[in-house]
Structure 1
Amino acid sequence: MTKVTAQMSVSLDGFYTGPRDTEDPQDMRGWMRGPEAPGFFRVTRWVVDAMAWRERQGFGGGEQSIDSEIIAETFAAAGAYVMGRRMFDAGEVPWGDEPPFRAPVFVVTHRPREVLERQGGTSFTFVTEGPERAVELARAAAGGKDVAVAGGGELLRQVLAAGLLDQLELHIAPVLLGEGQRLFGPGLGLGADDGIELVPARVVDTPGVTHLRYTVTGRSKLVLDDRGASGDLVGPAKTGQ
């Protein structure tokens, strides 16, 4: 059964990059010198060291580790991808003629563009009807495998808020960044009395990162839990004051 999945590397205080760069995201060299890059490369350090990631990028070296096995597992599970336009713009040139996806990619955007075919099975289709339509198209193209939300954080929040996400995996790096782009927050569109419930499905701890996988069960109402109240309670709850 096709699942919609997402994963993101974050710091312990919840940031997936440094502060947002206002420069043109298509200038990758500028991005590398900008405020986002230091935080991003710190929380994804575990990825760069993994053999499975390096092989997928066409690089040599790397470590054959549990981290590498998790990356290989993620690539193998995905039959199609959904990503935001900003991520595509930043990655188009560095990915080159043979991007690492090797599957159809649906880019959520407000700017139309013709389908971009690349070597190795990757194609980029630009979807202007929103994330729901992009996920729908990706499901149809996935061939029964998973639809992976490839990022960035803004698109992941939209997919989660729309109730489209089935599985979320966080890779938590043991670092506090203090500031940057936070993965979760007001962008989820939650009110004061509702939340999005998650069920832990897997925890894998390695020296450089902790992998937390959750099944997303959807929104629920938040209620006051007063199970700790005793019969001797004195105060507003008892007196009505």
Structure 2
Amino acid sequence: MGKVKVAAFSLSLDGYGAGPDQSQTHPLGVGADGLHKWILGTRTFQAMTGGEGGSTGVDDAFTRRSFKNVGAWIMGRNMFGPVRGPWPDASWRGWWGEEPPYHVPVFVLTHHPRTPLEMEGGTTFHFVTGGPDEAMQRAREAAGERDVRIGGGVQTVRAYLQRGMIDEMHLVTSPVVLGQGEALFAGIDLVAAGFRCVEHVASPEALHSVLVRTGTD
């Protein structure tokens, strides 16, 4: 069985993974666009979004590594899109166009049923109404021997941290201060949970830190 991982998850210097007031105009929350500056210029990201060129340094290496051995994803509804409440129709198909960068099953946590959405390139979004435990069970079954990647947002990662289900986290600290938003580790004791830092590498844009839970590395 593979591991459960968080990878390429961006945080501000003051510990926020998203800003306040998320919307279609501000999908990361107001003021949070700079959180992901480190990844936008990488060759891997450019290739994923139909661009050309891009950097090949530390940030690109971590971006490329974050997609290795992933057999399924779990994400919260906010990461899939800005629609709230019952789905009015099937018109919202994600932020990523007709070929999302996942290429494996993706399990979206939501309170409102929706039929699976099959996209180009092997991505199918499954909308899970039974909560984080059901999503994890289904993701593990889909992933088989490969890893399950927790894609976010903050509340989704926190839900699995609080359940003790995450084996490894690659966190990227960007030189941005938000002041408010969604704090990833508020009330969570990572030491008590068994995490330790096993790798930390700086680039001109960010600090990459890898934390593993005792007994899973």
Q: Which residue among 191, 195, 198 is the counterpart of 2:192?
A: 195
In structure 1, what is the equivalent of residue 58 of structure 2? 66
Q: State the one-letter code of the partner of 1:36.
A: G
| Contact 1:20/1:181, CA 8 A, preserved across alignment | no
Q: State the one-letter code of the partner of 1:82.
A: I
Q: CA deviation at 1:133?
A: 1.2
Give the Cα separation in 2 of the matches to 1:69 and 1:129. Answer: 36
Q: Residues 3-152 of structure 1 correspond to what in structure 2 (within 5 A)?
A: 3-7=3-7, 8-21=9-22, 25=23, 28=24, 30-31=25-26, 36-39=29-32, 41-90=33-82, 92-152=93-153
Asked which structure has the greater CA Rg, the reply is 1
- DSSP-derived class of the 2:98 partner: coil
Give the Cα separation in 1 of the matches to 2:133 and 2:94. Answer: 27
Q: Between Structure 1 and Structure 2, which shows a larger proportion of helix residues?
A: 1
Give the Cα separation in 2 of the matches to 1:3 and 1:175. Answer: 30
Q: CA deviation at 1:210?
A: 0.7
Cα deviation, 1:95-148, whole Å, max 9, x if unaligned, reads 111001111101111111111100000000111111111111111111311100
Give the Cα separation in 1 of the matches to 2:95 and 2:159. Answer: 26
- The two structures have a TM-score, normalised by structure 2, of 0.86
Q: State the one-letter code of the partner of 1:108.
A: L
| Contact 1:203/1:212, CA 8 A, preserved across alignment | yes
Q: CA deviation at 1:61?
A: 2.9
| Contact 2:13/2:176, CA 8 A, preserved across alignment | yes
In structure 2, what is the equivalent of residue 235 of structure 1? none
- DSSP-derived class of the 1:92 partner: coil
In structure 1, what is the equivalent of residue 89 of structure 2? none
Q: State the one-letter code of the partner of 1:215.
A: V
Give the Cα separation in 1 of the matches to 2:213 and 2:49. Answer: 30
- DSSP-derived class of the 2:135 partner: helix
Give the Cα separation in 1 of the matches to 2:121 and 2:18. Answer: 29
In structure 1, what is the equivalent of residue 206 of structure 2? 209
- DSSP-derived class of the 2:26 partner: helix
RMSD over aligned CA atoms reads 2.0
Deviates more, 1:153-162 or 1:176-185: 176-185
Query: Identity over the aligned pairs, expressed in percent?
Result: 36
More contact order relative to length (CA 8 Å, sep ≥ 6): 2
Give the Cα separation in 2 of the matches to 1:86 and 1:181. Answer: 12
Runs of 5+ consecutive residues of structure 1 not aligned to the other structure: 219-241
Give the Cα separation in 1 of the matches to 2:126 and 2:94. Answer: 16
Q: CA deviation at 1:178?
A: 2.0
- DSSP-derived class of the 2:101 partner: coil
Cα deviation, 1:191-214, whole Å, max 9, x if unaligned, reads xxx932312121111111111101
Deviates more, 1:176-185 or 1:97-106: 176-185
Cα deviation, 1:43-90, whole Å, max 9, x if unaligned, reads 110011111011112222321112111111111231110000121124
Deviates more, 1:150-159 or 1:128-137: 128-137
| Contact 2:164/2:193, CA 8 A, preserved across alignment | no
- DSSP-derived class of the 1:134 partner: helix
Runs of 5+ consecutive residues of structure 2 not aligned to the other structure: 83-91
- The two structures have a TM-score, normalised by structure 1, of 0.78
Give the Cα separation in 1 of the matches to 2:214 and 2:109. Answer: 24
In structure 2, what is the equivalent of residue 233 of structure 1? none
